[in-house]
């Protein structure tokens, strides 16, 4: 029976997980990729297998966490007493317009 080749030693794994847990950044991943002679994808995959990888949170072009139109429609439904079908029809509206309308009512 053939033995499986391991890409990372147990010492490398412990060092990588400890360093990344202390400082979960792309720079940490890049440093260890260089140090171990691995690709960034390989290091990310190893961290994911070790359940240590923290996925980057998506932000919009404006730098804010995106809000789904369904969430906006649900907010309209609760604030204005809309029926489910009325709220669902709002998901077809322009998202920017929905945000501006909610902002205008919230500021009053």
Among residues 8, 88, 81, the alpha carbon closest in space to that of 48 is found at: 8
Indicate the DSSP class of residue 103: H
| Domain spans of the chain, in order of start | 10-49, 69-107
Q: What is the pTM of this model?
A: 0.55
Indicate the DSSP class of residue 3: P
What separation in angstroms does the CA of 108 have from each of 2, 3, 40, 72, 78? Answer: 72, 70, 50, 18, 17
pLDDT one-digit tens code per residue, 26-73 = 999 999 999 999 999 999 999 999 999 988 888 878 777 888 888 889
Contacts of 69 (CB under 8 A, 6+ apart): 90, 91, 93, 95, 98
């Amino acid at each position: 029976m053939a033995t499986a080749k391991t890409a990372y030693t147990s010492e490398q794994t412990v060092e990588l997980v400890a360093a990344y847990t202390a400082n979960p950044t792309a720079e940490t991943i890049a440093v260890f990729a260089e140090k171990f002679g691995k690709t960034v994808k390989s290091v990310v995959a190893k961290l994911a297998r070790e359940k240590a990888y923290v996925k980057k949170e998506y932000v919009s072009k404006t730098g804010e966490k995106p809000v789904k139109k369904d969430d906006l429609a649900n907010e309209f439904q609760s604030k204005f007493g809309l029926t489910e079908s009325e709220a669902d029809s709002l998901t077809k509206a322009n998202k920017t317009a929905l945000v501006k309308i909610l902002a205008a009512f919230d500021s009053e």
